[in-house]
């Protein structure tokens, strides 16, 4: 059974640097999401994406964050100027119509 | 917005016993309630879900109940096994028309099943 994939599995960056996290959803997914999970805490919604535009975003998803699906397959999350508090596990998820969300394995982002 | 509360935060049971995890939600418009199991360092995996048009759903040793009036839903695991040990998250979302069902999660329950 195909699974959502994410790269890299672990990203270490310096504070203030830009990072791009990548996700490859399954081909029949139409809705895409990014979530983050700070170590030991709950999973938090960041943004949802449908038809090549943002559908909803949380208060966490400020101007430092952006998403896009540049080539119709990869779904990316960009953080322009990382902060220490951005250190977390970032999960993307995809959802086919009338179905549930399927999570990727996550990217662990460490900001030093 | 939606707020999901989950209890207990930790739960320890003996192998073979039952485990119950409870969640409450605040937005009466929520109509989809999945439960995820997350093992250490792994992705959340859907184990069961329920929609608001039913009150109970069962899948082998796992069951979920929903009380729409009280706005709470529960996960029941019977005959627990050591491999059930993990963190369990409940979530709520609204699915209708153009909504894509953003999930709002509870804080998680760390279940430990002792052999």
pLDDT in tens, A50-64: 888 998 999 999 999
Among candidates B43, B100, B101 on the partner chain, residue whose Cβ is nearest the Cβ of A106: B43
Q: Which residue has the tokens 């208060």?
A: A59
For chain B, what is the mean pLDDT?
Answer: 93
Among candidates A50, A102, A106 on the partner chain, residue whose Cβ is nearest the Cβ of B100: A50
pLDDT at B69: 93
Residues A19-56: tens digit of each pLDDT:
999 999 888 888 999 999 998 888 999 999 988 899 89
pLDDT at B52: 85
Contact B43 A31 (CB under 8 A): no
Is residue A10 within 8 A of residue A111, CB to CB? The reply is: no
Backbone dihedral angles phi then psi of residue A54, each to the nearest 5 degrees:
-70, 130
Among candidates A42, A100, A104 on the partner chain, residue whose Cβ is nearest the Cβ of B43: A104
Backbone dihedral angles phi then psi of residue B67, each to the nearest 5 degrees:
-120, 100
Residues B63-113: tens digit of each pLDDT:
999 999 999 999 999 999 999 999 999 999 988 765 668 899 999 999 999
pLDDT at A97: 80
Contact B46 A56 (CB under 8 A): no
Nearest partner of A23 among A96, A102, A83, judged by Cα: A102
Contact B44 A102 (CB under 8 A): no
Residues from chain A that touch B31, judged by Cβ atoms under 8 A, are none
Is residue A46 within 8 A of residue A64, CB to CB? The reply is: no
- Measured between CA atoms, how close is A83 to chain B, in angstroms? 22
Q: pLDDT-based confidence at B21, cuts 50/70/90?
A: very high
Which carries the bigger pLDDT value, residue B107 or residue A70? B107
pLDDT at A15: 97
How many A×B Cβ pairs under 8 Å?
49
- Measured between CA atoms, how close is A39 to chain B, in angstroms? 10
CB < 8 Å from B in window 11-70 of A? 31, 33, 35, 41-45, 48, 50, 55-56
pLDDT at B112: 97
Q: pLDDT-based confidence at B53, cuts 50/70/90?
A: confident
Strand order in the sheet with A65-68: A5-7, A19-24, A75-79, A65-68
Span B16-31, average pLDDT: 96
The most distant pair of C-alpha atoms in chain B lies apart, rounded to whole Å, by 47
Structure tokens at B51: 């929609």
Residues from chain A that touch B36, judged by Cβ atoms under 8 A, are 43, 103
């Amino acid at each position: 059974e195909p699974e959502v994939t994410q790269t890299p599995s672990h990203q270490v960056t310096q504070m203030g640097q830009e990072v791009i996290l990548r996700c490859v959803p399954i081909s029949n997914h139409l809705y895409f999401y990014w979530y983050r999970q700070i170590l030991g805490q709950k999973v938090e919604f960041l943004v949802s994406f449908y038809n090549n535009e943002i559908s909803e975003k949380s208060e966490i998803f400020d101007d430092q964050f952006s998403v896009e699906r540049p080539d119709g397959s990869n779904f990316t999350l960009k953080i322009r100027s990382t902060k220490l508090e951005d250190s977390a596990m970032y999960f993307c998820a995809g959802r086919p119509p009338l179905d549930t969300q399927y999570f990727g394995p996550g990217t662990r982002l460490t900001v030093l | 917005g939606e707020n999901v509360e989950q209890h207990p935060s930790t739960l320890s049971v003996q192998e073979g016993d039952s485990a119950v995890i409870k969640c409450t939600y605040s937005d009466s418009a929520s109509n989809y309630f999945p439960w995820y199991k997350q093992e250490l360092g792994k992705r959340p995996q859907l184990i069961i879900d329920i929609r608001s048009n039913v009150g109970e759903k069962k899948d082998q040793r796992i069951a979920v109940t929903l009380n729409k009036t009280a706005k709470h839903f529960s996960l029941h695991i019977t005959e627990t096994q050591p491999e059930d040990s993990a963190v369990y998250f409940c979530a709520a979302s609204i699915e209708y028309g153009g909504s894509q069902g953003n999930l709002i999660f509870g804080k998680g329950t760390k279940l430990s099943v002792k052999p």
